[in-house]
Structure formats: structure tokens, C-alpha cells
Chains A and B, each alone.
Chain A
Amino acid sequence: MPTKLETVQLSAFYAKKEAIHEVSLAFPEKTVTAIIGPSGCGKSTLIRCLNRMHEVTPKATTTGEIRLDGEEIHALDPVSVRRRIGMVFQKANPFPTMSVYQNVSAGLRLNGVRHRKELDAAVVRSLKQAALWDEVKDNLDGPGIRLSGGQQQRLCIARALAVEPEVILMDEPCSALDPIATAKIEDLIFDLRQNYTVVIVTHNMQQAARVAEFTAFMYLGKLIEIDRTQKLFENPAEKLTEGYITGRFG
């Protein structure tokens, strides 16, 4: 499996406070990698570094490298980085004044796509990929904000997919959803691995076990262990990992 995205000795800071410390982590192409760890361990900061969202925060800086297909992302235009590396957040955040159609096509329109046929095709493709098409196809002009929580999250995934990213980052995408909506998103993540490299931050260890081929465990800003998910949950190499996943922490 070739590496799609990787960090090399990556440290991230909020002013002088170090949030992650020299993390070197490779994300293989077209696989799902889960990042787990207790609150404050730096997992969200890590994925926000991966598409240069971290640097948007005032006084936030990084050291080390992040490579996308071998290219250092800080040498690339941040807008193009974010188009190639999409992000889905913990709380679904559809644009409140936009319809379903407008939400999905927003990224493309921002990138200058104007042809209605091209936009139509992208909207249909993205909604189908996000497993939302059947539920919204008769009301594409309805407001995105009127959808249920689970549907809104899939709408946000469709919006991320519309610009045809190569990597999708997900920060706790199911934490606000009920088990049925969660199952739909998990099925979707399972299917996305056919075409995309997915990195998912989750507090739900069973979710990591269900959707990810690789799982990384972080603690106090450091990467403690990464391994195939089955191996990590059956026989972790590090005592810290064992303590965390079995609930015998501290």
C-alpha cells in the first residue's frame, strides 16, 4: 500500500504550548486510519494540521513535515491543499441559508465551476456516494438545515466529496448521532475506502474497530502506537495502549 499522506516529526503549538510532539505517522492510500486517545491528547490538532486548518488559529504553529504524495503541503497553496484533503467535523455544519443542492455544490462554485450540467452531475454523484441521494432527491431545493442530524452529517460528507478530494479527514463525525445514523455513516466510511484515504478521529473505540484498517493511539501529544486495528485491539504492543483500551487508565 503506497503512502498517501504522512507526517514526519510533526509538532504543533498553540503559542508556546506544545499540543503534539514529534509525531511521525503514515496514512496508506485508500485505507481508513482511526486515531484514538483520551481528550486533550492532540488527535484533533493532528488532523487539523493535515489540511493546514491548524495554522488558521491565531498563534498556532507547526514544526516538522507533512507530505501529500511526497510533497510538503506547506509548499502548496493552502486552498488547493484543502480541496485535496477534505474535512468533516464533529457537528454537522451545513450552510444554514443554502438548499441541499447549493450546499453540495458550494465548493465547486467557489472553485469557479458554473456549468449547470457539471454541477448537477457532481451533486448527484456526491449525494449518491454519501448514501443520501434516495432520501433527498425529491427535495434538492429544500434547506439543508431542515434535514435530520444524521442526514446533515451525510450532507456535509457529500459537500466534502463534491470537490473530489483525495483524502477525507473526519473529526468525531458520529459523536452527535444516534446508533442508526451512526451505522449509516460507518457504512459510508466503509465504502469510501474504495476511492479515498480516510483519517477518522473517534472516542468510540468500537467504531475504530468497525471501520478502520489501522488504528493509532495518542497520549499527551505523542503517538504511542499504530498498528493494524485487529492487532491493536487484540494484542497491543504498548502498556499505555492496553491500559486505555481496556479502561484501566491512570
Chain B
Amino acid sequence: MSPATERKALSEGLDKLRENMTTLAELASLAIRKATEVLEGEGAPDATAVFTLDQEIFALREETVKSCVDLIALHAPVARDLRRITTSLEITTDLDRIGRYSRDIVEAATRLQAVPRNTPLKLPKLHRMSELTIQMVDTAIRAFVDSNAEPVRNIIQADDAVDSLHDQVFLDVVDQMADRTMESQVGAQYILINRYMERIADHAVNIGQHVTYMVTGRRPWRPSSPKSES
């Protein structure tokens, strides 16, 4: 195969990879939005839609990982081509985890809805947290799709805000359980949901940092990585 043909084949492979990654990112973003709708009982929430999205994300991730390995094996890419492929490999894991946590949120929300509540729920901070998390995921995904590290420059600060809300929600739930304004089985589900949401924001940070590496070639420093936990 001549170098020109090889280059063309690699270009086509990279275009296909970009297409798959964009779809994967859109599915993950949709999964967390739908999960939040189910959690907040908006409109006619459809829990099964999130389960389907999770399965679709998993299947597309498998296909994408295979195509990345094929590109590396067949074309020995270097420089920005190599960085795009390795970044895609890393990000597929983050997107897959976002899909999985969205499913976990729906499962917890379903268990929550099965418990008769004595008092109306007062957790506005959880709502704010889910808004911020969705915003972070969208920002990170846009940065990847546009190959632009600028939008994710401050993603760690956004994550700090989510972490702070996570801590506050946790304390609020514990307080409400302690003064018996919230049943323990309800509180336990909220603590789980709170945790899932915070982890999704961590994966958005991961995506942001991978994009920064992909675009600049430099690995951004981060004090601690959430990856060891997922």
C-alpha cells in the first residue's frame, strides 16, 4: 500500500471514529438528562429509556474500542492522530461510566418512588447539583467534539462546586434522617443518587483533561484522580 493510500485509509478511519465518538457522547448526555427527569418526576419520565441508552452506550463503546485498536494495529499512528485515538479510548470509559451511573440513578429513583413519603422532599441543592453536572458533561463533550481545550479550562473549578454541593446534600440528608423528617430508606437512596451525580461530574473532568491532552499534547496536572474508584 502506498503512503498516500495508507494515509487515506487512516483519515477515513479517524473520520469514522469521530462520528462514533460524537454519537457515544450524545447518548451519554441524553442518558443523564433522562435520568434527572426520572429523578425529578418531570413530564412522563421513562425509566426504561435510560436502560436502553445504557445498553446502546455499552455496545457502541465496544465497537469504538475495537476500531481504535484496529487503527493502531494497521496504521501505527503518531502525534495528533495517536493522541486522538488514545484519547477516544480513554473517553469511551468515561462515557460508559456516565451511562452506567445514569442507570444507577434511575434504579435508585425507582426504589425511592416505591416508598410512601410522609413529607415533601426539600433537596434543592441536589437539583442544582444535577444542573451543574449536566452542564459539565455537555461542556466536556463539546470540547472533545470541537477539539478545543478552551471550554474545559475551568472544569476543575466547576467540579469543586459540585463536590461542595455533594457534601452539603449529604449533610442535609443525614440531618433530615436524624430529626426523622426523612425515612432512612429514602435517605439511603438520596445518598446513593448524590454520590452517582458527583461521580458523573468527576468523569466530565476526566473527559476535559483527556481533551486538553489531545489538543495540546500536554497532560494537565490533577491532584487526585477519580479513576481508581470506578
Contact = CB atoms under 8 A, between A and B. Distances in A.
Contacts of A194: none
Nearest to A243: B79
Contacts of A233: 78-79, 82
A235 B217 contact: yes
A234 interface: yes
A245 B81 CA distance: 10
Interface string A229-250: 0000111100001100111100
A248 B10 CA distance: 11
A206 B76 CA distance: 8
Interface string A191-215: 0000000000000011001000000
A246 B3 contact: no
B3 A245 contact: no
Contact of B6 (A209, A235, A247): A247
Contacts, number: 32
A234 B76 CA distance: 12
Interface string B149-188: 0000000000000000000000000000000000000000
A234 B82 contact: yes
Interface residues of B, number: 14
Contacts of A236: 79
Interface in B1-19: 3, 6-7, 10
B83 interface: yes
Contact of A247 (B7, B82, B83, B217): B7
A235 B218 contact: yes
A247 B75 CA distance: 11
Nearest to B8: A247
Nearest to B4: A247
B89 to A, nearest CB: 15
A246 B81 contact: yes
Contact of B83 (A209, A235, A248): A235
A245 B78 contact: yes
A242 B77 CA distance: 11
B12 to A, nearest CB: 13
Given A234-B217, A235-B217, A248 B78 contact: no
B76 A248 contact: no
A234 B83 contact: yes
B98 to A, nearest CB: 27
Contact of A234 (B3, B10, B78): B78
Contacts of B82: 233-234
Contacts of A209: 78
Contacts of A245: 78-79
A230 to B, nearest CB: 10
Nearest to A245: B78
A245 B82 CA distance: 11
B80 interface: yes
Contact of B80 (A205, A206, A242): A242
B6 A246 contact: no
B3 A235 contact: no
A205 B75 CA distance: 12
Contact of B7 (A206, A234, A235, A248): A248
B188 to A, nearest CB: 46
B149 to A, nearest CB: 14
Most-contacted residue by chain B among A205, A235, A236, A248 (CB, 10 A): A235
Contacts of B217: 234-235
Nearest to B82: A234
B35 to A, nearest CB: 37
A247 B3 contact: yes
Interface of A: 205-206, 209, 233-236, 241-242, 245-248
The 8 closest A-B pairs by CB, nearest first: A235-B217, A247-B7, A233-B78, A245-B78, A242-B79, A246-B79, A206-B76, A246-B81
21 contacts: A205-B76, A209-B78, A233-B78, A233-B82, A234-B78, A234-B82, A234-B217, A235-B79, A235-B83, A235-B217, A242-B79, A242-B80, A245-B78, A245-B79, A246-B77, A246-B78, A246-B80, A247-B6, A247-B7, A247-B10, A248-B7
Given A234-B83, A245-B79, 6 more contacts: A233-B78, A233-B82, A235-B83, A242-B80, A245-B78, A248-B7
